[in-house]
Amino acid sequence: MARRGTKIAQLAAAAAASGVLVAAIAFPTVGGAGIGLVSAVDLTPMALEEPPLAEVSIVQDAKGKEMARFYEQYRQVVGADQIAGIMKTAIVAIEDYRFYEHGAIDLEGTIRALATNMSSGRVSQGGSSITQQYVKQVLLNAADTEAERNSALEASYGRKLTELRYAMGVEQKYTKDQILEKYLNIAYFGASAYGIEAAAKRFFGVKARDLTLPQAATLAGAVQDPNATDPNLGKKQRQRLLKRRNVVLARMAELGKITPEQAAAAKAAKLGYKGTGLPGGCESSTQPYFCLYVRQDILRNPAFGETADARVKMLNRGGLTIRTTLDPAMQESADRAIKKYVHTSDNAVASEALVQPGTGAIKAMAASRPYGTRKSKHEVSYNLVADAEHGGGMGFQAGSTFKTFTLISALKQGMKLDDGLLAGAGYRAPSLAAFTNCKGQGIGDTSHTVTNDEGSPGWKTLRTGTWSSVNTFFVELEQRVGLCETVKTARSLGIHRSDGGKLQEFETFTLGINEMDPVTVANAYAAIAARGRYCAPMAITRITDRDGKATDYRPRCKQALEPAIADATAEVLSGVFTKGTMRSVGGIGRAAAGKTGTTDAYAAAWFAGFTPDLAGAVSIGDPRGSQAHKLIGVTIGGRYYGSVAGATLPGPIWKETMIGALRGVPATSFTAVDAARFEGCSRACAPARQTSDGGGDQGEQQEDGGEDEGAVGDGGDQGDGGGQEQGGGDASEEGTG
């Protein structure tokens, strides 16, 4: 054995002394006895490809304030001047005390390791220098597949020799101080902390430059086996880490880097692990629902990578700075309004989205429940404010907010604001052909009667029918303008089901049988506010990569409606506040328009509205199942409600949000309606002497906007819950005011 060790030492010394690139090295023969001499081993330095380290991507609001972080590895790369000197001393003392004396290969350590390996017949000791460890970590971090990771970790002499050649290349490229800096930034310390800055914060709540002797020794000891000493895993792991820390301190004293007294004092200190929470992921975000939206926006957008895996890698490893559309003041206003009316502990959930007309920029996303997985805390593990594509769920039926799309369709077909029809107490389709879906199929339901539970039948115009939100008026209006035309209008404004399924096209489409999310509804109403200019919902305005290169993202818009039609729609919906279902709630002190929505039997309630500067939609329902858990006889926000309609809670939440969100924003007026085109009546004027609910003579028929809803109703237009069964699922549920 002595003769073999002497031979190895001689070969290694000769190679080091002469600087030759080829050396003969003896290794144990795998699978057999004795030592095999492998000659002509190539020790030519190799250039190591060093991909950028995985770094944290930061999400900011519109003002530049951080709101969330995404990462695969929690790491913050720092320079050598941001790392405490005692940390550098500790890591060198325990990992490679001759680091500043040897080259890429520590011959003394390598010979010692080889001797041990030969006696055991296997690779049992590494003898790696810090440079070699850096190389190994680079190869491991660059691995994309399990096979590549296994290759980077395999215990073979072939892998070891490759590392040596890479290490020689690294030593030629960088100074020792630069290599140490790179090593400390790439090393894994346990507790999900990669790199010295993240480890200092995670373990002790300090920056790397502020580490003390006991803290530095702890982190230096952790790199040897970070999983076995991970203090986040429990008491046993912490005890191992404490012992390892003391080994480091003893070694530092042995090498004269600290005094015995300093070592003793540091050993007497407690471990001091704080387990500082990792500042990342949507669950820990200050705005979790907006965070979820941004995350899904990137993961499903090919602009951020050709494949799903590439996009995940870009987000979690790319070190991006993502600037978003979220307005902190508007977000605060929405949060405050919801909190005032709905408690976290309530079974019902309120959700709200604010969207900027003309850009589609999402300004706020708020909900009454916190995001998370702890049911005991009433947390919700999906996006309450958005659709399934952005991490949301099924949403809630939108109710009478969909009547707006029938109103628009009527205006598109030339009806004037005082054109109307005689709305009955009930409506039943005269034939299958009375309603045709967009496949050309007749789907009129001749067996079911749509009713207004407390409604007032009579002559209704586009104005008064909308203000009082009469079911029978809108179903018959939809019959006249066409079901498919109404569906197309809704689609042109971005309407799609929250769950990603196809829109249910039945005669009760106008009553809001489709499940929606606040972002989609708010964005559709924002297009009306923008005089018909529809813009896709937008959450990201700029992404800056780790190298400082910025990419700006612009609104994606189209003209979905004629401006004059949008203006006329805004004119009608403005009356909802003064003469319709929101008159008991009142306006916001500036031009505003909107529509209440309540589904059949009070399963869910909505309000969607807009000013020229901001649009918003509020929904409320029970996430346990809105059809099984209706908003009847419920306590919400500490107050008992016999029933909850669109103006009961969603309307007041919207109003309070808007007042706060637009504080300081100059008031803007809607564009006046084109009187020549839309005022008066033409082909559907009120018949002479037609009266309704005691109304007067011609021209004065039921122009009061319907019932005063008070605190609970939507103008008395509650549907009867009849059986539109062709829709399947919840298609039988009708919307009301």
pLDDT of residue 527: 98
Higher per-residue confidence, 151 vs 580: 580
Instruction: State the chain's mean pLDDT as an integer.
Output: 85
| Between residues 716 and 2, the one the model is more confident about | 2
Let me know: does 592 contact 655? Beta carbons within 8 Å.
no
Q: Which one of 225, 244, 268 terminates a domain?
A: 268
Residue 193 shares a structural domain with residue 98: yes
- Burial of residue 62 (number of CB atoms within 10 Å: 0-12, 13-18, 19+): middle
Q: Which residue has the tokens 């009433």?
A: 378
387-421: b (≥16 Cβ within 10 Å) or e: bbbbbbbbbbbbbbbbbbbbbbbbbbeebbbbbbb
Give the integer Cα–Cα distance in Å for 7 and 534. Answer: 80
Residue 120 scores a pLDDT above 50: no
Domain end marker among 268, 289, 309: 268
- pLDDT tens per residue across span 627-664: 889 999 999 999 999 999 999 999 999 999 999 999 99
Closest CA to 509 of 528, 491, 523: 491
pLDDT for position 104: 63
Is there a contact between 362 and 99 (Cβ–Cβ < 8 Å)?
Answer: no
Task: Specify the higher pLDDT residue, 120 or 414.
Answer: 414
Inform me whether the pLDDT recorded for 725 exceeds 70. no
* CA nearest neighbour of 404 among 285, 310, 493: 493
Verify that 92 and 40 share a domain, yes or no: no
6 and 154 share one domain:
no
- For residue 283, being part of any structural domain is answered with no
The more confidently predicted of residues 630 and 21 is 630
* Residue 493's pLDDT band (cuts 50, 70, 90): very high
Which range, of 263-272, 300-309, 331-340, 441-450, averages the lowest pLDDT? 300-309
Q: Does 159 score more than 80 pLDDT?
A: no
Whether residues 16 and 141 fall in one domain: no
Mean pLDDT over 174-189 rounds to 96
Two structure tokens written together for 440: 């050309």
pLDDT band at residue 24 using 50, 70 and 90 as cut-offs: very low
State how far the alpha carbon of 133 is from the alpha carbons of 105, 153, 200, 356, in Å: 11, 11, 20, 52
The CA-based angle 631-632-636, given to 5 degrees, is 60
pLDDT for the residue 600 = 85
pLDDT for residue 23: 43
Within 255-373, residue ranges assigned H as helices are 260-268, 288-299, 308-317, 328-341
Q: Are 579 and 665 part of one and the same domain?
A: yes
* Residue 291 in domain: no
Q: For 704-718, what is the mean pLDDT?
A: 37
Name the 3-class secondary structure at 594.
strand
Which pLDDT score is estimated for 125? 38
Work out the average pLDDT over 35-55.
73
Domain count, the chain: 3
pLDDT (average), residues 199-215: 97
CA dist., res. 196 & res. 193, Å (int) = 8
| 53 in Cβ contact with 186 (< 8 Å) | yes
CA separation for the pair 228, 393 (Å, rounded): 40
Question: Residue 618 pLDDT > 50, yes or no?
Answer: yes
List the domain range (segments joined by +) for residue 226: 75-268
Please give the single-letter amino acid code of residue 35: I
CATH number at residue 421: 3.40.710.10
Instruction: Using the predicted structure, report yes or no on whether residue 329 has a pLDDT greater than 90.
Output: yes
Residue 266's pLDDT band (cuts 50, 70, 90): very high
For 133-147, 342-356, 670-684, which range has the lowest pLDDT when averaged over its residues?
Answer: 133-147
According to DSSP, residue 698 is labeled T
d(CA 569, CA 560): 13
Which pLDDT belongs to residue 453?
56
Q: Do 434 and 513 sit in the same domain of this protein?
A: yes
Q: Answer yes or no: do 201 and 240 share one domain.
A: yes
In a domain, residue 310? The reply is no
335 phi and psi angles, rounded to 5 deg? -60, -45
SS (H, E, C) 113-156: HHHHHHHHCCCCCCCCCHHHHHHHHHHHHHCCCHHHHHHHHCCC
Q: 367: closest CA among 276, 266, 282?
A: 282
pTM of the model: 0.77
Residue 43, token pair as written in the block: 């020790």
Does a structural domain hold residue 68? Answer: no
Which residue type is seen at 702? Answer: Q
* CATH number of 110's domain: 1.10.3810.10
Average pLDDT over residues 109-128: 50
- Same domain for 533 and 669, yes or no, is yes
Dihedral of CA atoms 418, 420, 426, 427 in degrees, nearest 10, equals: -150
